[in-house]
Amino acid sequence: MGHPGELQYPSVAIANLGNLEMKKVLLGTTALLGAGLVASPAFAADGIKLGVGGFFKEAYMVNFDDDSEGEVGNENNTDGFFNDAEIHFVGSTVLDNGLEVGARVELEGEDDSDQIDEAWIWFSGGFGEVRIGSDDEALANACIVPPGGTGNFSAFSPNQWGANTITSNTVCTGVDDRGDAQKLIYITPSFAGFQLTVSYTPNGGDERHIDGVGPHVGMPVNADGESRHNVSAYATYSFEGDGWGLTAGGGGSWEGHVEQQPGSDRQAQDFYQAGLNLTFGNFAVGGVFEYFHDALDQGDDNIDNWVAGGGISYTMDAWTVGLQYSHLDSDNDGSSDTADFQQDRAVVTGNYALGPGINLDAEVAYTWVDTDPENALATSGPNEGENGDDYQALEIGLGTNITF
């Protein structure tokens, strides 16, 4: 007899239960074996071997601007040499099931805020492409920019900008605190010219091992004002007609949460961008717009920005000439003394293809800034405290852009 409270089973019932359990084990083992045969491992004829590529950009620039005492150009050099270089280590292999697996690491040519620019792995096939690692978010990765710029120079966010302003007229910037923060990116296949890129960034400021995203114990610390759970999406459409073509795109970038901080907190940002380019034979023309909602929303400052502009280019043999214009409008709806300002930039460019991957380029650019109220001082950047009103700059640049 069993103890009080225990369930009592006849011996025959116990035997039947034992047989039933044995059948379950046998059936489960058979199912696992079948699954193993169906999901056989995929192999590649060769493993991943990294190749070397990259670019080297060098420019000589002269800038003539307002450089009297109290002006933003005061005590700034008139000319200089500037470069930007990266060495790319890229490798991939294709498995016998058609899946491509690869890795990319971009090494900075000079010491920078980080020695490695971007580094990610990817998996691609008929489903599209998945990237994991340090890379630009969807908006910055896929954004449409007007023609007329070169490897070194443009009216938007060029590699080289000579005018002594606090910002460029960027049209491809997302909300991540660090543009190359660790993230997941998915790029769909192209369906009749349509393609979508989406990305997710857990921590907007975490890119490097020192940020807490390398080998670790515990999770990264949430810094004051840092964004988290950021999402970005950008869709493009391309069409090639008889002697003409079209490329259009649009999307947005959204901060999911902003870590609260002592004092005045800032609002979560959301940015939106759209662009359209057309080609007619050797001519190309296009326009772009980006809106920065809550570019700064903290304390007494509530600043929204927008940038719009366009460009045109004409290619004849090895020569390409271009013209671009951009306008930045920064509007402070807060109660502080931070000035509203408008920043305009016009650029004429030239590019000569000296050989495969070897280009010589040049620019003549004019940049002008108006602030309201007048004689307002710059509140941030390298020229903080300097007079930013009615600033003008004329710059001339000569450069090279080598890819390998």
Q: Please list, in sequence order, all residues whose beta carbon lies within 8 angstroms of the beta carbon of residue 280, skipping any fewer than 6 positions away.
A: 243, 244
Question: What CATH number has the domain bearing residue 362?
Answer: 2.40.160.10
For residues 2 and 333, give the distance between their C-alpha atoms in angstroms, rounded to a whole number.
81
Question: Which segment, 9-23, 69-83, 326-340, 350-364, is predicted with the most confidence on average?
Answer: 350-364
Q: What pLDDT, on a 0 to 100 scale, did the predictor assign at position 267? A: 85
Does residue 16 lie in a domain region? no
b/e per residue, 172-200, with b = 16+ CB within 10 A? bbbbbbbbbbbbebbbeeeeeeebbbbbe
pLDDT digits (tens, 9 = 90+) for 79-128: 999 999 999 999 999 999 999 999 999 999 887 667 888 999 999 999 99
Task: Indicate the pLDDT class of residue 265, thresholds 50, 70 and 90.
Answer: confident
| R_g (Cα) of the chain, nearest Å | 28
Lowest mean pLDDT among 139-148, 321-330, 381-390: 381-390
Residue 29 lies in a domain: no
Please report the pLDDT score of residue 24 as a whole number: 43
Tell me whether residue 26 is in a domain: no
DSSP per position, 375-394: TPBP-SSTTTTSB-TTEEEE
What does the pLDDT average to over 318-337? 86
395 belongs to a structural domain = yes
Region of residue 385 (phi > 0: left; psi between -120 and 50: alpha; otherwise: beta): left
pLDDT of residue 83: 94
> Are 207 and 182 contacting, i.e. CB atoms less than 8 angstroms apart?
yes
Which residue is associated with the tokens 């405290």?
385
Asked if residue 45 is part of any domain, the answer here is no
Alpha helices (H) along 323-378 = none
pTM of the shown model: 0.83
Q: How confident is the model at residue 306 (pLDDT cuts 50, 70, 90)?
A: very high
Q: Among residues 283, 215, 222, 292, which one has the least CA distance to residue 258? A: 222
Which domain, by its residues, includes 326? Answer: 52-403
Q: Are 260 and 273 in contact (CB under 8 A)?
A: no
Residue 227 lies in a domain: yes
Query: Do the beta carbons of residue 346 and residue 324 sit within 8 Å?
Result: yes
Using pLDDT thresholds of 50, 70 and 90, give the confidence band for residue 371.
confident
Question: In this structure, are residues 66 and 72 in contact, taking their beta carbons and an 8 Å threshold?
Answer: yes
Residue 38 lies in a domain: no
More confident residue, 23 or 287: 287
Domain annotation covers residue 388: yes
Q: How many domains does the chain have?
A: 1
